[in-house]
Structure 1
Amino acid sequence: MLNISDDIESMRDLSRWERPVHGHASLDAFLATKSLQDGIHAIAYRGVYLEFNLHRRASKSMLVFFNAALSSRTSDVKLPAFSGTRAPHATDACVLMVSDPGLYLDRDIRLAWYAGASGMRLQEDMAKVLRHIQDVLSIARMVLYGASGGGFAALYYAPFLRNAIAVPCNPQINLLIYSPGILGRYLRTAYGYKGAPSAFESADIPDRPTVRIRPEHVRGSRIVYLQNALDARHFNREFLPFLHEQGFSRGRGVVEVHSDRLVSVCGDNWGEGHRAPPAKFVYDLLHSLTKTDGWDRLPETIPALYARTANRFRQVVLKLENGGFTAQAVLHEPQGEDEITMVLYRDDIEIETIRVASAEFGRFSCAADNGRYRVTARAARDHSTEEKTWGDRLLSLFRTRNVFDEMRSRVVVVG
């Protein structure tokens, strides 16, 4: 085993998580443990770290989170990277957040799909780690969630676990058709592969990982596949082919039960592009799946969750025009009196606020200096159909100003 280098240590900052830290000298040392304490576990692993954040509960169900691509890899971005940080407040199940050790391979890598590297058979070893956690904590039910690249991991690892449910969100199914630049950088760094990324499966590469989720791999797994209908690339190149290979087609329903092991949720109000559903929908869905009857109740549970948590925004667009910015926000069902608040940010600092009606273009007065710009649109949510009791209605009076739907635009880079 390689020693952990100073450069690897400079990529880390465990203190920011404010959790107890438990170190393990090797993978074998971790797999020999008879108990697992609450907190962050850091396994010295092939010259880097395999880290996970464990929130223990009395429950025998567990939510497992795999991270998507990091938004950036500046010197300020430290590892480990944990997704699902709101989960401990949204469920009474155990929660496990797993950071991808492949992110330590190079400071330019933002996504590694939990697929390892030469000399790092992560797909094999991660399966052992997850099974060990399940055994030590006597977990009866595991629900694996990941968005985008994390969705690939959720689908890949679910078959290795007892009574597992995979919940991929806008996942990559076939890495070989992903962005050649991002995939190529990872393959060069992790496996020394310099050929065309699309030809990786036929290359003579030691420890070559699985890079495509095939039907036979997930045939015995239960899957709730979440797909944004307005993410055209993943809808057409990943989602539909995945269903087709399983022998299914897709209709126009939000929720479709394809078999007793495959359910798909296809939303058109999560925002345009590679966007996940509202967090409230995701966490409520995951929590429902941790229950004994969670899978069987999906046909009733998902439509109710979807209706209660659906985002009213269909699209938010920011454009650079004549040295300034215009923005447009479109609601699915405008109600005539809707006023949309749009806030412009430069490098994540709020600089201007305007108000417009749905589908109208608004113009910001500030000039476009160098920087990264985005706009956040907000619209008040009408809870009149959701409040059930006088107590609920009274409570809503105190929270009306803070209850709204929100969506962000894509980033516009100037300079």
Structure 2
Amino acid sequence: MAALTPGPNRFAIRTGTVPVHFRVHFVPGATGMLVSFHGATCRARREAPIFNAFNPDLTALHQVSVSDPSMQLPGDFRIAWFAGHEGFDTPALFARVFRDMARTLGVERTLFFGTSGGGFAALVQSHAMPGSVAVVVNPQTSILRYHPTLVEPYRQACWPALAGNEDLAGAIEADCTRLYGEGFRNTVIYIQSLGDRHHYRAHMLPFAAAISARAQADRVLFHTRYNGVHGHSQSREDYADWLRAAALSPSTAPLDLLDTWHGLNAPARTRNAQAQSPQPHPAPASFPRSDDTRPADIQTSARLETWLERQSAPTPARKAA
């Protein structure tokens, strides 16, 4: 890993067929790290490397934004799930890099975040780091249960030797329901829009079923809501407080996470309740009023900066079947 300076850094790991690009915002003394994965993108409009925007709410954390190296390959595909391509084991490389980063930076808590295809990558990487937390939004939990019109171009460009989409299961980690169904030692905050019927039915429900019989199932918190939009979308407000709760909670235990999230939402609930309740008539001017009711003020102390640029070295390679 490159030597980091306080503030924005950028570096690339030169390995295999393509470089792997990182943006890091380094906070001296921070003991938490947020790793963010992007989802599908239109490559005609955005050239690789592609990075998620940085979270503006968590200034106390190191922040790492990564670009999927497979998106640098030629081909008409929009998403690669950070799952790798022929001769390049992206998940193994990232698992090693994030483990080394956490150790080098003295990180005590690592959060992995992603929406949609980035949510799939966050689930995979969090699973590889016991004790970490994945905060995922409308994620795919199985590549093969996603739309074939998006899976097929990825297979053709990144795994041209494979005859069909079903063969991906032998070349990459394609199914988080199987992965988590065999056990896990991380925590997951799974945020799902009820208006996104495909991801609710084909991804969330199978994932929930796969973990239901495991003792660790309690370490997955499902948060579902409807924001008035049909389809694959979620407002930032629906997950911003969960990210802050994951960073601020005294531990990653489910009850601590729930209580922290509830506390962060208390001011908004108080305002909403006050707005919806009948307002008392003002007291007559001749009577003094005692104003002994003050709204609860819960400070959150978490605000994030922005990231940016710099460069470095290591390497891996993918299993064939």
- Give the shorter-chain TM-score range: 0.7 to 0.9
The answer to whether structure 1 residue 240 and structure 2 residue 240 are counterparts is no
- Matched letter for residue 22 of structure 2: F
**Residue of structure 1 in register with 2:279 after alignment:** none
Structure with the higher helix share, 1 or 2: 2
Q: 1:308 to 1:183 in 2, by over 3 A?
A: farther
Preserved CA contact (<8 Å) 1:228 1:270: no
TM-score (norm 1): 0.59
**Separation in 1 of the partners of 2:296 and 2:258?**
26
Between 1 and 2, higher relative CO (CA 8 Å, sep ≥ 6) is seen in 2
Preserved CA contact (<8 Å) 2:70 2:82: yes
**Residue of structure 2 in register with 1:62 after alignment:** 33
Preserved CA contact (<8 Å) 1:41 1:51: yes
Deviation at 1:235, TM superposition (A): 0.4
- Matched letter for residue 288 of structure 1: A
Preserved CA contact (<8 Å) 2:248 2:260: no
The answer to whether structure 1 residue 82 and structure 2 residue 47 are counterparts is no
**Separation in 2 of the partners of 1:216 and 1:226?**
19
Give the fraction of aligned pairs with identical amino acids, expressed as a percent. Answer: 27
Preserved CA contact (<8 Å) 1:151 1:170: yes
1:73 is matched with which residue: 16, 36, 43?
43
Say which SS state the counterpart of residue 297 (structure 1) adopts: helix
2:10 is matched with which residue: 29, 37, 40?
40
After the TM superposition, which segments of 4 or more aligned residues of structure 1 sit over 4 Å from their partners? 303-310
Number of equivalences: 266
**Residue of structure 2 in register with 1:200 after alignment:** 168
Say which SS state the counterpart of residue 96 (structure 1) adopts: strand
**Residue of structure 1 in register with 2:236 after alignment:** 279
Unaligned runs of 5+ in 1: 1-29, 203-207, 249-257, 311-334, 336-386, 391-415
Query: Aligned-pair RMSD on alpha carbons?
Result: 2.7
| Residues 167-176 or 106-115, more deviating | 106-115
Preserved CA contact (<8 Å) 1:69 1:111: yes
**Residue of structure 2 in register with 1:229 after alignment:** 194
Counterpart mapping for 1:9-408 below 5 A = 30=1, 35-37=3-5, 38-57=8-27, 58-70=29-41, 72-74=42-44, 76-85=45-54, 87-106=55-74, 108-193=76-161, 195-201=163-169, 208-213=171-176, 214=178, 215-216=180-181, 219-247=184-212, 259-269=217-227, 271-276=229-234, 278-293=235-250, 295=252, 296-303=255-262, 388=295
Preserved CA contact (<8 Å) 2:135 2:242: no
Structure with the higher strand share, 1 or 2: 1
Deviation string 1:100-150 (CA, Å, 9 cap, x unpaired) is 111101253221100111111111111111111111111110010110101
**Separation in 1 of the partners of 2:56 and 2:30?**
12
Say which SS state the counterpart of residue 248 (structure 2) adopts: coil
Preserved CA contact (<8 Å) 1:55 1:88: no
Deviation at 1:240, TM superposition (A): 0.7
**Separation in 2 of the partners of 1:270 and 1:39?**
38
Deviation string 1:168-199 (CA, Å, 9 cap, x unpaired) is 11111111121112111111111114533134
**Separation in 2 of the partners of 1:273 and 1:136?**
41
